[in-house]
A = this chain, B = another copy of it.
Amino acid sequence: MDIVIIGGVAAGAKAAAKAKRIQPDANVKIYTDENHVSYSSCGLPYFIEGNFTDYRTLLVRSVEEFAASGIDVYLNSRVEKILPIQKDILIARENEAELVKYDKLIIATGARAKIPQIKGVNKFNNIYTLRKIEDGIKIRNKMLESSVVTIIGSGYIGLELLEAFVKNGLRVNVIEANKKIMGSFDDDISDLIKKRLESSSIGNFEFYTGEVVTEFIGENNNVKSVKTESGKEIQTDMVVLCAGVEPNIEIAKDAGIEIGPTGAIRVNKLMHTSIEDIFACGDCAEKKHIVSGRPVWIPLGSTANKEGRCAAMNAAGEYCEFEGVLGSTVTRCLNTTMSKTGLTEEEAKEVGFSPISALVLKTDRVAYMPEAGDITLKVVADKVTGLLLGGQAIGAVGADKRINTLTSALIGHLTVEAFNNNDLTYAPPYSTTIDPLLNAMQILTAKMAKLRQN
């Protein structure tokens, strides 16, 4: 039995390892167009920041380790075509081509950085994107000889790089076309994130929101400044494009595999695509949102691991259903943790819920403890049913803890009323007597009671 996997970062590497464990006699092969396999791309900002200096720290499993467990990894081997009828894939390698037979195929081609169509974007060597290990090495090396960097985009990667650059002493400009930074949060929370970051005592940086970059200007292959629609011209030594990602679906689409409404590869709960014996998982695959029931495309390393495992189980003859995602995320920038799960209030409205929300601002643990820090927590529920829909938390400490506590509640489809009974742990070094989450539930309970009276 030949189990062939296209892509080898998170989902692909996990799928290969799992498939081989289930079917030790199967031929399990990974084809990747990259130079590395099985690495933590989420760790690249921390490599750039200098938390560790050897990029190999990011490697989860080497080609040799895969070989030792009987898995063949083919690096620098781009898959040109999937031929579903004859069950082959066509590999392009240097100047030769090769047909490789599969019984089960797992597509884990991931995503790539979006390149905004800005004048000059392809003209300069010091404009970067961050996806692969090589990108990380290049950015770090350039950073070490730069004084000013400009980040285009203010999502997760943008803010993680802001921290990395600032901690290395650079002046950082963050240019964001939208009016708010961290656009996946509700407006009120996004505003607080910006204020909180701007109040940080560390770092020399500025946010330019609502600024559209119109041109990169420079000479000798080097960008020197960034021009915006409003007429600003911002000097810079380097640029990193953090304008989002898009799924690598071309070879799947070309093979006739169905693409979902989000633009990613459509899969069912078994991670199976529309064509027999072909699975897809990780950043190239569409997901179902557990709260809204809608198809979404939220590419994350943690999801990629789960989907890779599930796809492999089904490909190798076991059974696994993947229920979907909550869109849970967490990140850090300087003094601020930002975390969310489920639907924002805006998203809840869009998909047809009647959301109400509670906003709690307090210390994350008892204020007399020296480690206490602030936390802002927003919890969203449906005002008709009381069903919990999502939460967002930011602050110095404990935001990730509150959001993870909510994820289990969302998986369990808990209402506000049921959550009121939650017996959260309490001791002064860890929480307030009434945890911020329970404060939020009390506010929601009171709001719903008031609505029922009217």
Contacts and interface: CB of A to CB of B under 8 A. Distances in A.
A319 to B, nearest CB: 10
A51 B40 CA distance: 40
Contact of A413 (B43, B341, B400, B412): B412
A40 B43 CA distance: 41
For A156, A408, A413, the residue with the greatest tally of chain B CB atoms inside 10 Å of its CB is A408
A269 to B, nearest CB: 10
Interface string A427-441: 111110111001000
A230 interface: no
A271 interface: no
Nearest to A400: B430
Contacts of A322: 421
Interface string A407-448: 111011110001111111111111101110010000000000
Contact of A303 (B324, B327, B418, B423): B423
A367 B326 CA distance: 25
A119 interface: no
A255 interface: no
A82 interface: no
Nearest to A163: B429
A426 B301 contact: yes
Interface string A1-27: 000000000100000000000000000
A302 B422 contact: no
Interface string A100-128: 00000000000000000000000000000
A327 B404 contact: no
Contacts of A411: 409, 412, 414, 418-419, 421-423
Given A408-B405, A411-B412, A330 B427 contact: yes
B408 A419 contact: yes
A129 interface: no
A323 interface: yes
Nearest to A388: B408
Contacts of A46: 368-369, 428-429
Given A43-B368, A57-B368, A400-B401, A425 B407 contact: yes
Given A58-B368, A405-B407, 10 more contacts: A51-B370, A322-B421, A324-B423, A400-B431, A404-B404, A404-B425, A407-B425, A409-B412, A411-B423, A412-B413
Interface of A: 10, 40, 42-43, 46, 51-52, 57-58, 156, 290, 300-303, 305-306, 322-332, 337, 339, 341, 366, 368-370, 400-409, 411-414, 418-431, 433-435, 438
